[in-house]
Amino acid sequence: MTDLAHTLTTHLAAAFAAEGLDPALGAVKRSDRPDLAPFQCNGAMAAGKAAGKPPRVVAEAVAARIQGADGIASVEIAGPGFLNIALTDALLASRAQSIADDARSGATPVATRRRVIVDYGGPNVAKPMHVGHLRASIIGESIKRLFRFRGDEVWGDAHFGDWGFQMGLLIADFEERFGALDPDGALSAEADARLAAVTLDDLQTIYPEAAARAKTDEAFRDRARKATTRLQSGSVAYRAIWAKYRALSMAAQKEDFHALGVDFDLWKGEADVDPLIPGMVEDLRGKGLLVEDQGAQVVHVSGGETKKRKLDDGTVIDAPFPPPLLVVSSEGSAMYGTTDLATIVERAKDFSFDLCLYVVDQRQGDHFEQVFRAAVIAGYATRESLEHIGFGTMNGQDGKPFKTRAGGVLRLADLIEMAREKARERLRADDIGSDFSAEEFEDVAHKVGIAALKFADLANFRGTSYVFDLDRFMSFEGKTGPYLLYQSVRIKSILRKAEEAGVKAGPISIAHANERTLTLALDAFDAALVSAYDKRAPHFLAEHAFNLAQAFSGFYTNCPILPEKDEAVRASRLALAQATLKQLALTLGLLGLEAPERM
Ligand code: ARG
């Protein structure tokens, strides 16, 4: 099923071809001047240049060929030779009907189905999830749903940060509190009992304390480093501590993800590829790629490019860029890049992926460039199959990455509760839900709060940073999540009333300006999906949801449904309302928003 721009392009391409011109010139797009006509074609300009004719002459010839063609109401030439095209109501009605009848609301699937991994979320064990993980979770979830909806085979992976230095810190801390362990033996019964008694609350104070201590206490930091290496080289006792702490924080993180409406197919972490690392290191060595560098083992990834770097003594050198990827530290442990590289090996083996998308803060761009280059040099993946989908930060009013008033990082669970509380206030202020049960009220407040957070994030291009402003996010007017939920609840209520009154939907006909606008909004769904997919940018869908909701709002104000006397018009308008709700719900679903039944 093709959208209106494609249908028109077919007509225009034939007309250009009939004039002996390149049919590609017939590309039709949404008009920049919708007040003049909904669609435009600019091909006559290029054609005129190529054929050495005034563009207006070309435009006139093309216009004469399509004037009166099926579905075309008028073709006007504007300025130097723009073709402004308006459609017949019959064509609009048939397009609206096909969208209404289609389970996918007019969305086309991808031409070739690919195997896609989306790596997002990325929380770290023992550290509470904070606002930095919010964007990765929200954007990643939407990209995963979008790729799946368009027909790809998709796996979302949380890729827990569970194999790094923070684990060594926790082990050093444990030994500090409860005495040194024998890393080669199993945990003593006493240590085992102590470990079993550690709770999530404990963990939430243990980690910040250990991290702070490592900053000032060099001997402690050294022990933590050694513990990281021993953990990775198979210490049973250390692995027991690792497993307990990992399980504790993973359970808490699963709850946060659940509250956000974020779910993974694979709940894997960095540690999962541990068994693959020795083989990979051998492989890199065998290929002559592993180079000794100040006691560490690295892979050079710069293709000759350099960047100026200032050394400690103040001299400036031309250092290779990107810098080499650190594979084995001088302590002998695996690093962030090592696990990422081994994860590519694993994903290639287990999923033979065509595409792997890393939805991670854009400040990690250099890291991914290093990892991707190393993967390509080693022959583990192609460069086209690896993409870093970076995003900006959520900032505070001061324009810097968001912090709490006290200057600390805000825990995700606290942020979610803040949003919920603001939603409760908003609902009460508008006297919404005063007749709901306590349970339903909470459910609605949760959905509104989460929608506010998520939509505010997804409404901007992901690369753009935005300012956290809960009052603005929570408004029921303007481009917000709550506005969209409100509009979809309103349509649901209209449909319920129609059902109660026994009014049935019927064939769609188009005669009113607002019916045309609504049909054009519905028709824009597929293009929004394609843009969002191609650019890995959900804001195209957010924009579409808003345009659709607004078009419906105008339609509902000016085109009465139930009060309409003409039975056929009433049935047609009801069908348009149904089609709108279906597409709006689909779009909100792809953004990860959930609308309540009523509010
Ligand atoms: N744990 C990392 C962090 O908090 C994010 C992980 C992103 N994914 C990856 N494959 N490196 O910064």
Is any atom of ligand 1 closer than 6 Å to the C-beta of 415? no
Is any atom of ligand 1 closer than 6 Å to the C-beta of 340? yes
Cis peptide before 54 (omega within 30 of 0): no
Question: What residues have CB less than 8 Å from 251, skipping those under 6 apart?
Answer: 200
Dist CA 303 CA 373 (whole Å) = 9
Is any atom of ligand 1 closer than 6 Å to the C-beta of 433? no
- pLDDT at res. 419: 96
- pLDDT at res. 52: 86
Dist CA 564 CA 23 (whole Å) = 45
Is any atom of ligand 1 closer than 6 Å to the C-beta of 124? yes
CA-to-CA separations, 387 to 44, 121, 324, 344, 372, in angstroms, rounded: 38, 16, 19, 12, 8
Residue 161 Cα: closest atom of ligand 1: 1
Is any atom of ligand 1 closer than 6 Å to the C-beta of 161? yes
Residue 340 Cα: closest atom of ligand 1: 10
Identify the segments of the chain with pLDDT beneath 70: 1
Is any atom of ligand 1 closer than 6 Å to the C-beta of 360? yes
Q: Which amino acid is at 93?
A: A
Give 274-281 contacts, CB < 8 A, sequence gap 24+: 274/163, 274/232, 274/334, 276/342, 276/345, 276/346, 277/334, 277/338, 277/339, 277/342, 280/341, 280/342, 280/345, 281/327, 281/328
**Per-residue model confidence as pLDDT tens digits over 181-196:** 999 899 999 999 999 9
Dist CA 345 CA 343 (whole Å) = 5
- pLDDT at res. 409: 77
Dist CA 529 CA 406 (whole Å) = 41
Phi, psi of 355 (to 5 degrees): -150, 135
Structure tokens at 367: 């890291």
- pLDDT at res. 401: 85
Is any atom of ligand 1 closer than 6 Å to the C-beta of 358? yes
Dist CA 553 CA 535 (whole Å) = 29
Phi, psi of 537 (to 5 degrees): -140, 95
Residue 360 Cα: closest atom of ligand 1: 7
Q: Whose CA is nearest to atom 6 of ligand 1?
A: 122
- pLDDT at res. 14: 96
- pLDDT at res. 590: 98
The torsion angle over the Cα atoms of residues 30, 31, 37 and 39, rounded to 10 degrees, is -40
Dist CA 476 CA 427 (whole Å) = 10
Residue 124 Cα: closest atom of ligand 1: 1
Is any atom of ligand 1 closer than 6 Å to the C-beta of 538? no
CB 14, CB 121: distance < 8 Å: no
- pLDDT at res. 411: 83
CB 536, CB 124: distance < 8 Å: no
- pLDDT at res. 1: 62
Total residue length of the chain = 599
CA-to-CA separations, 244 to 184, 199, 202, 591, in angstroms, rounded: 18, 10, 12, 34
The torsion angle over the Cα atoms of residues 166, 172, 177 and 178, rounded to 10 degrees, is 120
Quote the longest CA-to-CA distance of the chain. 92
